[in-house]
Structure 1
Amino acid sequence: MGEQFHAKAKPRIVLVVCFLLLLPFLFTSSAMEEQKATWLWDASLIEHPEPILDFCREQGVGVIFLQIQKNVKDERYGRFIAAAREADISVHALDGRPEWAYEKQGGEAEKFIDWVLDYNRHAPAEERFAGIQFDVEPYQLKRWERDQAGVVEEWSRNMQEWTDKAREGGLYMSAAVPFWLGKIETEDGRGLSRWMLERFDALAVMSYRDSGTQMVDLSRGMLNEADRLGKSVWIGMELGETKEGDHVSFFRKPVTVMEEEMKNAYRLSEVHTSFAGLAIHHYEAWIEKIAAANPKREPGSSMGN
């Protein structure tokens, strides 16, 4: 009878062992799908934090890049950050202009960093910004076309100063960058994406396409570099209307297609240790898209995702 028991038990034990071995992979996908960030450009919206945070919780957002605006009082930032922290969402201060790449105007970025550091020094722990994100994009400048190397040289010097200054204040540093950044060389001949990954904690790649596969393909170079350097990469996803062509955004795609492409992007990216999740551009476009697809849905109500 003992031999008979062992004979029957052996297949079960094998199944249990196989299940345990597969367990991490079974939960990786759903866990990865919870890793999202989003840009929030209109800081006046934080006066009413509940709808924003309910939506972000519902959609699995863990990071909000919040545009800093002078007309918004510090107390509002504090209340919003504290409420976000209770929802397990971290808030990063966001700002930047193409001209900040210039040495003469890099000081504007330093003032921005000083403001965040000063704000954090005077704020209670639960109301402090977790980090800073720069959105500079100097390739929009006219000078970029005739003197790209000169702009990159000035921009690099500025970024070195910014990251040194912010890191002294204990801030997590990230930047929004184009997917082709690695093709641009620094003075020492390295790709600019690698140079930035060595100095920033993370990059948000604006790999804007209406296909999860294409988004990941455009980000692959930076994901590989970040894997080797132990840094993080968000893959950007555009939902807003754009003049760059329908292939750049999910603006005209149904929500069901958008969500399937999200899942596809996660599936293709989870092999990278550097993959931090999708960064959705942007909150305002996202919530409008969801609301248009579910007109009877109350804000913050479950969508069954």
Structure 2
Amino acid sequence: MLQAQAAPRAIWTWEPESYAMLQRESEADAAIAFLQQKGIQTVYLYADAYQGHNLIAEQPRLYGRLIQRLHRAGIKTYALLGSAYLHTERYVLPSHRKEALAMVQRIFDYNAQAAPEQRFDGINLDIEPHILPQWSSQRLALLAGFLDMSSAIMAARRQAGQTLPIGPAIPFWLDGIALEWQGKRKPASEHVQDVYDYVALMDYRDHALGPDGIVSHGADEIAYAKAIGRTVWLGVETLPNELKKVSFEHLREADMERELGLAQRSFEDNRAFGGFVIHHYSQYQRWLKSAK
């Protein structure tokens, strides 16, 4: 059961599920009912190309219809950008900068043309340079590329006259990599937080407390966010993983709720704590059915 005063929750919703919700009202009905049942107030809805189509450009009315329905149900909708399908980890490379900017510009253009009740409430980016094969030998250069891309995206937002919040998903261990960028040397996570409005920290552990827990891994990012007026959402995993501690998949829903409750109590008095993000929609549903 959810706590009576549970922290806000969001959920990553990837290509197949997002496109299904857009194209079939029955899928949207089921999704809205599920999100409301589980107390999820924000959905990160995929909004880029998939299987040869790009519905945000080709059929924007589908997004308008779904976002309006979600809003009526009290659910905010962020455009989820970045995917394995498009290999968007390459967008941190200068040779792919135009693709990164075109990706966000489509959202800016959509919002500029959409009715207020049909606009995205924000953007969540999932661009992960550590997936690239050259990460082991070029991680500082790739992180600098990520920050350059990020700075260009935020500049494009200003140029477009948009105000919707933008933030990336980042791994919790980014605070352990020091990086010099734009004349300042600090943890890579702090550079990222300086650029964006918020971060969704991939804080993937199956327990809240202790030196290798959700709270410990999120503490530095939340402390820095508080100092600079930003927000941190803590991401949790339900996909299977070879390292059991990474995911709640091997546990029950009650176990996850207990641990998230402990994490919430550690941060609930901190204005920089935004809530939790669950990875991801279809797997979360599968897990809930199998974990009973």
Deviation at 1:261, TM superposition (A): 1.4
Deviation at 1:176, TM superposition (A): 0.1
Report the secondary structure of 1:80's partner residue. helix
**Structure 2: how far apart are the matches of 1:128 and 1:292?**
35
Residues 64-93 of structure 1 deviation map (CA, whole Å, 9 limit, x = unaligned): 111124333322211111011112211111
**Structure 2: how far apart are the matches of 1:34 and 1:223?**
15
* Matching of residues 289-300 of structure 1 within 5 Å: 289-293=287-291
Report the secondary structure of 2:127's partner residue. coil
Deviation at 1:166, TM superposition (A): 2.1
* Matching of residues 1-305 of structure 1 within 5 Å: 30-31=4-5, 33-41=6-14, 42=16, 43-46=18-21, 47=24, 48-70=27-49, 71=53, 72=55, 73-96=59-82, 97-167=88-158, 168-184=161-177, 185-187=179-181, 188-213=184-209, 214-243=213-242, 245-293=243-291
Identity rate, percent: 26
Q: Is the 8 A contact 1:237 1:280 kept in 2?
A: yes
Moved more, 260-269 or 273-282: 260-269
**Structure 2: how far apart are the matches of 1:238 and 1:59?**
16
Residues 215-242 of structure 1 deviation map (CA, whole Å, 9 limit, x = unaligned): 1211111000001111110001001122
Residues 243-273 of structure 1 deviation map (CA, whole Å, 9 limit, x = unaligned): 4x11100111112212211212211221321
Report the secondary structure of 2:186's partner residue. coil
- Paired residue for 2:85? none
Code of the residue aligned with 2:284 in structure 1: it is W
Deviation at 1:183, TM superposition (A): 2.0
Report the secondary structure of 2:251's partner residue. coil
Number of residue pairs matched by the alignment: 264
**Structure 2: how far apart are the matches of 1:231 and 1:177?**
15
Query: What is the TM-score of this pair, normalised by structure 2?
Result: 0.86
Q: Is the 8 A contact 2:122 2:164 kept in 1?
A: yes
Structure whose CA Rg is larger = 1
Residues 101-139 of structure 1 deviation map (CA, whole Å, 9 limit, x = unaligned): 111112111011111111112211111111111111101
Deviation at 1:56, TM superposition (A): 1.2
- Paired residue for 1:299? none
Q: Is the 8 A contact 1:166 1:173 kept in 2?
A: no
Gaps of at least 5 residues in structure 1 are 1-28, 295-305
Indicate how the Cα distance of structure 1 residues 164 and 279 shifts in structure 2: closer, same or farther if over 3 A, else same. same
Residues 277-297 of structure 1 deviation map (CA, whole Å, 9 limit, x = unaligned): 011011111122223356xxx
Deviation at 1:34, TM superposition (A): 4.3
Q: How large is the Cα RMSD of the aligned pairs?
A: 1.6
**Structure 2: how far apart are the matches of 1:149 and 1:34?**
35
Query: What is the TM-score of this pair, normalised by structure 1?
Result: 0.82
Report the secondary structure of 1:147's partner residue. helix
Code of the residue aligned with 1:196 in structure 2: it is V
Q: Higher helix fraction: Structure 1 or Structure 2? A: 1
Q: Is the 8 A contact 1:92 1:131 kept in 2?
A: yes
**Structure 2: how far apart are the matches of 1:135 and 1:181?**
14
Q: Is the 8 A contact 1:152 1:186 kept in 2?
A: no
Gaps of at least 5 residues in structure 2 are 83-87
**Structure 2: how far apart are the matches of 1:193 and 1:293?**
34
